[in-house]
Amino acid sequence: MSPKKPALTHINAAGEAFMVDVSGKARTAREALARGAVVMLPETLALCLSGHAKKGDVFAAARIAGIMAAKKTHELIPLCHPLNLTKVAVEISPDESLPGVRVAARTKTLGETGVEMEALTAVSIACLTIYDMLKAADRAMRIEGIVLAEKTGGKSGDYFREE
């Protein structure tokens, strides 16, 4: 006998999608961390780190794109609530062992619903921006491993991904 699956919160009994009413939920501090990576040729990583990419500062552009994306998540993902984000931080770190870059995004809010989608969206768009800015040098780059690493706050409790 398999364990009971949790019910989907955005589908009613008739199978129709709807936006969940969070007005009755308590406002709590909520935080999420997402991670991902862009794998590239060693020469592409060197180009990125040199600051001589044709389109400019790759890390600065990706960081700004990730922050902007987090703020627009509700416009991109159906049924997401618009949130009053209190923090969005995007960190980009070169990793020669990939070779490539690792991207992390931390989002925070004080509200009735979580910020996981905002963190995941920030990482996704930051990775896509890195790809876009370097694609002339390396079209074989891969975006991979985008995951929710942790989430705190809210009724469902905390979550920490085991690596």
Catalytic residues: 132
Q: Please report the sign of the dihedral spanned by the C-alpha atoms of residue 11, residue 106, residue 132, residue 38.
A: negative
What does the block give as tokens for 143?
Answer: 């975006």
What one-character-per-residue DSSP string does 36-58 give?
Answer: EEEE--HHHHHHHHHT--TTS-H
**Residue type at 36?**
G
**Residue type at 40?**
M
End-to-end CA distance of the chain: 28
Strand order in the sheet with 142-152: 85-95, 100-111, 28-39, 142-152, 159-160
Do the Cβ atoms of 137 and 44 come closer than 8 Å?
Answer: yes
